[in-house]
Structure 1
Amino acid sequence: MTDVPALDGVQPHRESPIPGPKPLPLIGNLADLFTTSAETSLEFTEAYHREYGPVFALALPGGKRMIFASSHAVVSEMCSSPVWAKSVHAALEEVRAFAGDGLFTAYNEEPNWAVAHRLLMPAFGAMAMKDYFPAMLDIAEQMLTRWERFGPAAPIDIPDDMTRLTLDTIALCAFDLRLNSFYSEDLHPFVGAMVRSLVEAGARSERLALVQPLLFKTNRQYREDIATMRSVTQEIVATRIAQPEHARPSDLLERMLTAVDPATGQRLPDENIQYQLATFLIAGHETTSGLLSFATHELLAHPEVLERARRTVDQALGGRTPAFEDLARLGYIGQILRETLRLHPTAPAFALAPSEDTTLGGYTVHQGESVLVMLPTLHGDPAVWQRPDAFDPDRFAPERMGEIPEYAWMPFGHGARACIGRPFALQEATLVLALMLQRFDFRLADPSYRLTVQETLTIKPKNLTVLAAPRRNPPVVPAAAPAPQPSVPMAATADTARHGTPLLVLYGSNGGSSERLARTIAADGALQGWTTTVAALDEYVGRLPTAGPVAVITSSYNGTPPDNAQAFVSWLTTAAPDLSGVDYFVLGCGSLDWAATYQRVPAVIDKAMAAAGARRIRDRGEADARTDFFGDWERWYEPLWPLLADEYHVEHTIPTGPRFRIVEDLGGQDDRPGETLVLENRELVHGPSHRSKRHLVLRLPDGVRYRTGDYLSVLPHNNPGLVARMIERLGTQPDRVCTIESSAPTGLIPLGRALRVEDLLTRYVDLAAPATSGAIKRLAASTPCPPERVELERLAGDEHAGQNSARSLTLLDLLEAFPSCRIDLALVLELLPSPRPRQYSISSAAEERNGRVELTVSVLESPARSGEGTFRGVASGYLQRVRPGDRISATVTSPPDTFRPPSDTRTPAVMIAAGTGIAPFRGFIRARMHAAASGREVGPTVLFFGCQHPDWDDLYADEFAEHTKAGRLVVHRAYSQLPDGEIRYVQHRLWQRREDVRALIDEGAHVYVCGDATGMGPDVEDALRRIGAPTSPVHDGAAWLEALHAAGRYATDVY
């Protein structure tokens, strides 16, 4: 960690005690809580901040202490260091009684947090927000209609109504559940139980342990409230499960029940689903209701802001019902909400704890000690904010966002544990506040009201009531023109100029938005005469083409690359590639809510490619989810094709008509099987391990060579069951032979070759790909049945695009569900994408020179997200099915040069892997063992490996045991299902052996990591940073690891 200067008069000295009030024996500062004149704990801690400075501590009963951080300087010190991570502080420990290992209360190391985070993040991406808009509008209309019917003289309890509104909204959007709170006098029982439980959880964290069992009535009420909340979540799940599968909505609940984590192959356990439901029902409404309540108060307290906000709404909406696209024109409303959260952070604190003993503001903080970040004092730090007590929404004007330092505004938390519902909350609040201003004039019911705060673990105004009179003459403006939509691919005709210029479209995407935009570009380009390819950025590490443009569509994730762009960015920024001859352009997706890291990764890629010699053919574009994501996209996209046509001297056309023509061929099939021969395919896993892992031995074609560390890129075949279903739906025969003709680009589909229908559908299209909106519209146009056409058009509409993406409905699913669609083989070929090659690390050593490659493959098999049948990974399922004697299509591709064993075998090698991430390291180990057997000197070879159980999936254990017995290899294992104390995962074993690892690195070792990019990869990197921090001159583990990377001694292959 970087040394820091003195803060607010505190002189750094590791041994000086953290300031704070003098504690009493046994009870610490507990008495201070009951003798203070402060009405809330926030007032209490703010008073101590003024008295003791930016770092102070309170002694707790039992000898522990709670440390508080309350200035930007000390908070930045924590948040910028990898040593600090979220801590479940004392009050949240109590909340675990009813929220368990849900997203908000889980410990960092609990596996369900990582699984849930990966599964649920896409539900809160920029593209998903559009899907929620109709339900948000529905509930808001209920509240406003109620206000109109009660009349202008009826006092409105703002916090109460905002609680009804936000609870009903999250229930409808996430769980398809109507609570109908505005049709009942009393709040839903869940709310009362939740409020009492949150208050009691906070109180329990402050009580003496010996007192708690004596509070019989309090304990009984607490148990009853927890039981009430649990019964509500159980009923929600039971109601959903009782629905027929075809009738279930594709919402957040359905995702919890059916989705499979791509990293682990696991689904959420039933108990964790209950905890996640409770978490979303609490966090999904409590803080947003407080935000809207505080915003209402601030508008009434600042008439000039209220008037400007009303003008903004009138100009954007007039008197009409808002559409999703209108949100982009309500920027000033967003500024009001962000300034409200600065003054009144509704979740007013979060805790961090260090993973090792460290210092904060010059004071010693021990490993695992919680430090509570106090947001009200952070957000009011005069070192950052001018006139910090003033309500000034212009602080968050777009042109001033860059002035706000990183870590100065954090109402949604920090880092990977920040609130994933942020875009949902801000969209809901923007819509509701705009509707309130559009429809009503407000005034306080009690003109003498002074703001007081009601506090549980969150805050909201207390006793805030208003009068709402319908506006008599709201301005009327013409209805907004429909917002432009991303172009729908159209079929090409013979008149379309088939110039065939290559266009590579690469994406980096966690939430799915960037990928969807990339696929839109690729689809439209292919139908305008370009030869297009779309892929994740990581698939093109070290192999960017010089023929045609390269489009990069990517986002950032907390300022770091998306999971499928990490290797690309690492290669681009550390490997010093020569990109002379590469043409490119970049579109960055993100949100200005995170101004400090907004567009960081797109900007890094853009600058690095230019610095490496590539030619930028268009300035970097930006799509901002905070303001107008879709509008930004359309404005960027509209001139793209004319620009590219001019740049590459091709004709810009708008294609129409059918793309393919099927010609019957009475001759034999022109069959050209792959040239890589399968020699062996065996199972590696035994016992109850849930996922199959296969070991394959293949013979490469004559003349093909590889280097240790290379990939084998395999072009998969579709599952025979899917092929048979499609053939049956088309009413054709598998042995029918035909030839494909087309004047448009066809991807992998071969033209002019006689092929059996079964082989055509097996090899040249991807039957498992989700159907695009454009494809669904083509299906709708093909059916003569009005009801089915209406339903297909509904599914193709933008408001349902996210639902289909979440359920992964394929073209085949839709053809079977809508039997009236009149579709033939030619249209199927047009609407389906080509199969995508998959890369697998070669797990053998080129030094053995036997003409063979070996693969270690994890097979993905899980319940289909559509709710029908089983989903099988296209490529891994294909490799599971192949048998000795089969031939497959495969090519050798290369990783970054840094991901190879040290060229000098005397150099120590430290390899860290989990699961089939062991594949390249088996090759590394075999290469080094071959060198040793040849008499060459080989340095220490150390493998850290994580799996489930020694009897189930300890891959290649016998083979490694021989090397270990010979003294040539050291293996350190971690078993998740047979933990060694606290050591469950490979990063835990790595940290346990940190002294050994540090010593090897000091001796010049190369360090390699291979495995999951979303869980294991970041956790291992964090452990390495902590290992390196003490050796860094400034105790900065991140800088130490970056230096190791720059020296070519640290390489990762994460996926």
Structure 2
Amino acid sequence: MATTTELPIPQPPTHLFTGNLPDTDPSHMLRSYQTLTTHYGPIFALDMVRTRVVYIGSQSLATSLCDESRFTKTVAGALLQVRNLTGPGLFTAHSWEKEWALAHTLLMPAFGPLAVRRMFPDMLDVAGQMLARWQRFGPEAEIDVSDAFTRLTLDTIALCAFGYRFNSFYREGMHPFVTAALDALLESGRRAGRTGLETRVRRWAGERYERDIEFCWGVCDELVRERKERGRADGEGEQDLLGIMLGARDERGEGMSDELVRYEMLTFLIAGHDTTGGLLGFTFLMMLKHPRVLHLAQQEVDEIVGDGPLSVNHLDKLKYIEAVLRETIRLHPTVPNIGLHTKSGEDELIGGGKYRIKAKDTAILGISAIHRDPAVWGEDANEFRPERMLNGGFEALPPHSWKPFGNGVRSCIGRGFAWQEATMAVALILQRFQVEMADPSYEMNIRQTLTIKPVGWNIKVRLRSGRGLYSGLLTTEPSVVNGTPAKAASQKPQTATGLAPLAIFYGSNQGTCKSFAETLQNSASSHGFSATVGTLDSATEHVPKDRPVVFITPSYEGQPPDNGRKFVTWLEKIQSEGVPMQGVKYAVFGCGNPDWVNTYHRIPRLVDESLWKTGAARLCPMGLGNAAGDIVGAFDEFSELLWQTLSRSAGETSIRKEELKVEMSVDRPEMLGEKEMTLGTVRQHTQLADTSVGPEKKLMDVELPKDAMYQAGDYLVVLPTNHRHAVQRVLARFELPVDALIKLSGTKKSFLPHDRTEYAFSLLAAYVEIGTPISRKQVEFLASQTTDPKQKAELERLGGSVYESAVLSKRASIIDLLEQFPACELSFAAFLDMLQPMKPRQYSIASSPLVSAPGTATILYDVLTAPSLYNHSTPFHGVASSYLSNALAGGKIHAYIRPTATNFRLPIDPATPIIMICAGTGLAPMRAFIQERAAIAQAQPNLKLGAALLYFGCRDPNKDYICRSELEAWQRAGVVSLRPTFSRKPKESGGFKYVSDRLEAEKGEVVELFRQGAKVFLCGSASKLAKSINELLERTVMEHRQVGVEEAREWLAKQKADRYVSDVYG
């Protein structure tokens, strides 16, 4: 009977005939539930036509559902369809079925602690096969993580439980069993979302489904037949799981039928490998995304295991790795949901009588949501922090807050087996290898069947110094039965005859430093060297001592690039521990933006000083480039000094000259992009502001591919093309027709199409940056190619003392000077060789996925069009903004989602106050945040939102106050408090001209909100808005904390990790 406190369960509006089916994605229910939880809170109902589903996503509500006297596991939806494959196996059986009770009773002892420990040698055997395969493929081979861990866990459960070897590591492809089982699981999921009629109509799918099931059954039946023939089914002596299945009897003398044995074998082969394989995939992905954690885990292995054999006794001592696994499976439980129904067949009230679960409801226990409940895990619930599981933290958790293995009597009986296998695998890999991501920009792509795992990502492994082929293994050689080892890849380096070796390591997020590394590599042979190029992370523990080493790295707001974080963490460690680096000869070139005053060039300086302090020898002084200035010129100067130093040491014994060659062809080329991107479709393109007070401002909605998901705070990265006018200027200067076909050869620049033809227009539009400012060295080179004495002299003057004022400050490009000095006889090949690769641009997303059409992201941008600073008669067009501005509704653009690298995310708890500071199109992420808060407020009317202040700067309230009507509507709804400032009409904004003026006047309110836990967001120009706000905040901290400027800066720097986050641009 309902009480007076009973509340309705929130539910999205239903659709005619289809209920809430359109609100979910059957192929990725986890993602659907996550979106709905953000929108409707920790409990919501869905009308799934055949049944009502109630999703539970908080620890407090989960406590009621985990009461086994009131709720029990339900087998419905996709799980019910999987019974076609596994019957009443342990995972898919109904709790009332006698087969479940029998198997549970007989098989529990097989996974007891002692039994699992006895399986360790077989586990080690299979792991040895995987490690040997990785080592034989070499350090440059890319290893498919999902594939590797699937092979490992399948072979392990098969050998340990059934005494059978799939020999997956001696096959090119996956064992057919895996393919058949996966296809059967996927089809089961699809069938759960179809009507019976639709399933019958899809006869071809049904026939394949039946073939897959019969194949899986046949594998298991053959194993049973072979075991019976060998006479090992008598139930006597020490036996594996299959022996117990065939020989064990319960207290009534009842044993398992051959059919039930088959079902249980399939249950263990599928669930027993898929869950552990997913856990290992998530674990390494999280460690590689958090190099500090990876370093600490590897350090623990070194301290406890060393380079000797790993034993089962070591595993319990690996406390940090245990914490890493616990934290990984908290964030990414491989079985993310559990279905339950009332045990009594009557309605049940949960949450202290607040919510009613009806007898016919399917209650979904959202493990992934419970594991991120801020009431248990805090405001950093979404962060990967293994330390929360240490020093009693795990043991102090409230009941039912960490449930990756299920609930109660229906929880996974193979938990101990999976944990031992995962711990062993992590320890062995870290003991033997340095691991790096093949593509550091990879963002998690989850495949969901009954379980989830990250797919589509690769790693590279490099044998650690002092580690042998069988380090960590008790055996001397991995076992193989009826298997043929995979052919090892040759690792013999290919170098040019007679050239000295040189190693170049770069870090890069946006391609600049990678381009510099390739430029050095291309010119190496002409200076007597054969150069190899790798990422900074690939140098971890492997800085060569037998050759000169060059490090090229940027600094992103004081942080290392994605593919250099592991290396920097390791470098800091060896410096603190005093590890000697004598014998290393190195040089460093760094890039940075001076707008980040306190962290300018922090990472290159750290690399240089760490190596120097540990005994390495500098080849030449560190080179530093300014991303806002002549960065190419700075690199040219560094390169010249480096080559001078290296040439002296090499004796200039082998000098080669290579040139880029251009050939004409009539073959039509295929368009090639610099980076593999997705295609987005422009759905809406709207002008937002009057251009009389500033640049044109536009709003664009972009529909992305189905699997391109984002969160408020993320970026849309766009790969543009040069404006038509810029391309035509180049074609005219070199007298090339638009449809000229070009073939390039003799270059190692990866961003140019090699040995293939390309239309001249496409080549210039898509592959290179035409408008990049010309460097001082390039001006000097143009002068050397000029025949007219007067023009030559003027170019020499421009490349001299007036370069910065006359060329760089006016952002003159190569084509600007070529047009001004027609006597310069620069060839088209030389021109191409001087250009930088086309770089992607990122735009903060201005929409929330809770509100936008599925898969659609909105951006706001300025259209940059003005006379050139160098030649006022020539128009300047912003590369990316003109590319976007010219896109028509229905047209395609090259784009992809990039998650924020900082903590630029709304607080998990909507009651947390936020302070948003922005100007112009810097409104974009703030609009997304406010839009999301409005959606949450509408879906949960009883929820109290925290205060939200928006400080927004523009010029005129009637001309460029973008998105004004919707902002004011949100203010009326109580979602945000608007604090605009108008620089052209300050009287209409309370006398405040700039954002910093108003913020200073209202700092008392801001300080009080910060004391209440508010999070501060800033988006805008680094040189204007960010600088003025930082100066204001420094003064405010000095005043309120009674400290000096250095202490204030140090305090602010600490807040930038979470409480004060910025997204700034030049």
TM-score w.r.t. structure 2 length? 0.42
Which structure's CA Rg is the greater one?
2
TM-score w.r.t. structure 1 length? 0.43
